[in-house]
Structure 1
């Protein structure tokens, strides 16, 4: 049987990330509807983000070891089927507690799909194309912010959050079929031994990159998790206005990821991480000036350009630093993303519950500055190590 061209499986993986990203972001997009339907506060509903992110944080490395021997075609297709089932079951939950439990089970899919798709790419393209291929696959997350998130917000706002969840379930089924059809069989990245995992965990450079990812996520999700209630309270934004803001943010995110995908192999992943993180920090610094929807949309441009692109750059950075350890380091980096979501959503929920909306952007900005400092330190340590090894 003829193997499909490389572009076909890469597009299937990109589409899978689109569905995964849409499913992850549907909660912040429909937070107002979830809060009203389940009769809980917005801060309480936001803990769906915290709990789900915690599951992915611990699940990504643990599940990476558990599924090491699986054929990636079967694994990734089954992961999307699980995602579909989880979103369908969620629509049947009458209470917040039931939805929370189902959500925690559903997000096992992102814990598997995101890192395993990135590790899989390394076996589909030659080494000199890995950076561009990884960032290409992660364009799916940017596309989720352009199309999936605003559509989910609009559908949830006008037809209820359950309808939005059903749409994601249907998209998950389509994604599973696409992956099964296009991904070649027999892709099995070598399982990391205990010694290899130890090598990843004991590497100050690799773990430093993961820590940067966690700080980036924390800084963003302090505010990003609660866009819906914050903008409703400060600017009177309804579902349509929120859909516009999310859509605009997503357009900027898609553009940023495309630019990074085209230039990362030339600029270098470490420098790209600094650029994208600085853009996010700039928007958080300017956030208090967004007193109108149009003004806020302009302030969101740098954040959108950097938001999803910085995750792509971080994944490419890890793959280039230690290709043989990529299955483990990328899985841990996915954990770092969701650690950031959990910490940021928890901190933002506390600030929201204590009527401290004005402090949310400043808390996020401080975390982004810490991420920049740590990223520079990792880059300099790697440069010193390279100089000594010559």
Structure 2
């Protein structure tokens, strides 16, 4: 079995992959769908999914799972101090982020920026990549401050988008700060 610190790095790399896919894949898919139609975008994603499945089946590493004697049950995990609070904060924050993200296209159309959706999402994606690098570098030492800054940035961005969205420049700035958050 591989050492614990290498397992942690593998999880961190996998999570970065998810963030990278969301941050850059959504703008790319939006651009492709806008330029060539949603059918082409969906077909391209299907082809990419098949390529990834084959790649994993042929060349993906097969790491052993966690040893049985080290597993804990869900009720045991929930009794660990702080776990429930972290789960609730994560649920609420991810839910809020997802709700806002789901309406980006509708919001941009309402403020006259429908033709800029791909660029707006690209700004968000680039800022998210910067944020992933920064958080990865500092999370071990500054978890609480980073979490507070993240939630605060999100709140400010949501407020700016709700009240000051008449300016395309402010929308781009807000999206960049949202990506950082």
- TM bracket, shorter-chain basis: 0.7 to 0.9
What is the aligned partner in structure 2 of residue 161 from structure 1? 38
What is the aligned partner in structure 2 of residue 14 from structure 1? none
- In structure 2, the CA distance between the partners of 1:172 and 1:124, relative to structure 1 (3 Å rule), is farther
CA distance in 2, matches of 1:273, 1:305: 12
Deviation of 1:245 after TM superposition, in Å, equals: 0.5
1:295 and 2:170 aligned? yes
- In structure 2, the CA distance between the partners of 1:181 and 1:278, relative to structure 1 (3 Å rule), is farther
- In structure 2, the CA distance between the partners of 1:258 and 1:182, relative to structure 1 (3 Å rule), is farther
Conservation of the 8 A alpha-carbon contact between 2:111 and 2:165: no
What is the aligned partner in structure 2 of residue 346 from structure 1? none
1:287-345 Cα offsets, whole Å, 9 max, x none, are 22232322201112221012xxxxxxxxxxxxxxxxxxxxxxxxxxxxxxxxxxxxxxx
1:172 and 2:52 aligned? no
1:152-184 Cα offsets, whole Å, 9 max, x none, are 112222332222122112222222233334443
- In structure 2, the CA distance between the partners of 1:178 and 1:232, relative to structure 1 (3 Å rule), is same
Conservation of the 8 A alpha-carbon contact between 1:145 and 1:246: no
1:100-135 Cα offsets, whole Å, 9 max, x none, are xxxxxxxxxxxxxxxxxxxxxxx75543883x6544
1:283 and 2:160 aligned? no
Conservation of the 8 A alpha-carbon contact between 1:150 and 1:243: yes
CA distance in 2, matches of 1:183, 1:271: 36
State the Cα RMSD in Å: 2.7
Q: What is the TM-score when the length of structure 1 is the normalising length?
A: 0.41
- In structure 2, the CA distance between the partners of 1:190 and 1:227, relative to structure 1 (3 Å rule), is same
- In structure 2, the CA distance between the partners of 1:285 and 1:243, relative to structure 1 (3 Å rule), is same
For structure 2, list consecutive stretches of 5 or more residues without a partner in the other structure: none
What is the aligned partner in structure 1 of residue 67 from structure 2? 190
For structure 1, list consecutive stretches of 5 or more residues without a partner in the other structure: 1-122, 307-390
1:337-368 Cα offsets, whole Å, 9 max, x none, are xxxxxxxxxxxxxxxxxxxxxxxxxxxxxxxx
Moved >4 Å (runs of 4+): 191-195
What count of residue pairs does the alignment treat as equivalent? Answer: 180
1:223 and 2:100 aligned? yes
Deviation of 1:273 after TM superposition, in Å, equals: 2.0
